Amino acid sequence: MNRQLQRVDGTRVLVTGGAGFLGSHLCEKLLHAGNEVVCLDNFYTGRKANIAHLMSDPMFTVMEHDITNPVYLQVDEVYNLACPASPVHYQYDPVHTMKTSVLGMINMLGLAKRVKGKILHASTSEVYGDPLVHPQPESYWGHVNPTGIRSCYDEGKRSAETLCFDYHRRHQLDVKVVRIFNTYGPRMHPEDGRVVSNFIVQALKGEPITLYGDGSQTRSFCYADDLVEGFMQLMATPPEFRGPMNLGNPNEFTIRELAEKVLEITGSSSKLIEEPLPADDPRQRRPDITLARETLGWEPRVQLDEGLTRTIAYFDQLLGTGNARVKTPDLTLSKAG
């Protein structure tokens, strides 16, 4: 059946960064829910392969555009995901990273204001910096280095949150702010430098798995499907609820434990090696998701072993290594979640 006949409410949704890892999952789920979706991306880190399976859908439109420049569209909702999100990518051009967070946010807020729509901004757990409070609740203001190599991303996202709330106070704009904790899944870039993709790629290729420091630092890993469902639930809340809201998996693992799980699932014989810890790398990171549970009834459903199995299968197919001891899935996520 033609998707146009399946539309429920005629909502036209803009997803900036829509060809990225998370953006492509969000575009897919929005389409499946009956929305018309405009995917906007400058393809700096986003990939056309992530959205290739959506291109034949008449309700899906792709625009190549950088949000540091204004764009004029008629939409009902904006999901602002545009920004390099891995240290390798956001540190490559830190000035442009900051411009994307600040100028891009101003442009997207201006668009939402013009069309009298609502906007969800994808912020990050990096606003908490190297936290002195654990786990991190939304009320914690953070411990952030404003001049370090990660500052372009950390402070850019903090500034974007400020802009969201100022637009709400000044213009009564319906804003939603979500703070994303470590997320993984199919369509991660194999060279993004994130710990999950690094470990999986190294294991599948039989290369040494690189631990920065002794691997005792902790992270909490949320599967992409769970996260984007949280996005959509947050967007559906009444205007009086704005966040910020933590979204992530509260189960905490050391980086060494993650590496060992990847080795176990892949069956790889890769060895663990240690390298110096990068500057300002957080020692621990775990979300307090009480607000999401109480407001949305949301919490993650896919736990780490299951999510890693799916993600490893994706990378095994992508890289053509044939080394994983897991079943290879369809590269789209429509059947993986």
Which residues participate in catalysis according to the annotation?
153
What is residue 271's DSSP assignment?
Answer: P
What b/e string do you get for 93-113 counting C-beta neighbours within 10 Å, with b at 16 or more?
Answer: ebebbbbbbbbbbbbbbbbbb
CA 148 to chain CA mean position, Å: 22
Residue 246: its H or E element: strand 245-247
Residues with Cβ within 8 Å of 43's Cβ and at least 6 positions away in sequence, in order, are 19, 64
Taking the C-alpha atoms of residue 195 and residue 304, their distance in angstroms, rounded to an integer, is 14
Taking the C-alpha atoms of residue 165 and residue 16, their distance in angstroms, rounded to an integer, is 19
Show the 3-state SS of 77-146.
EEEECCCCCCHHHHCCCHHHHHHHHHHHHHHHHHHHHHHCCEEEEEEEHHHHECCCCCCECCCCCCECCC
Q: What six digits make up the tokens of 117?
A: 């729509």
Q: Which of 41, 293, 77, 295 is nearest to 175 (CA)?
A: 77
* Phi-psi sector, 64: left (phi>0), alpha (psi -120 to 50), beta: beta
Handedness of CA 43, 22, 187, 287 (dihedral sign): positive
Q: What is the CA radius of gyration of the chain?
A: 19
Q: Which of 300, 303, 304 is nearest to 287 (CA)?
A: 300
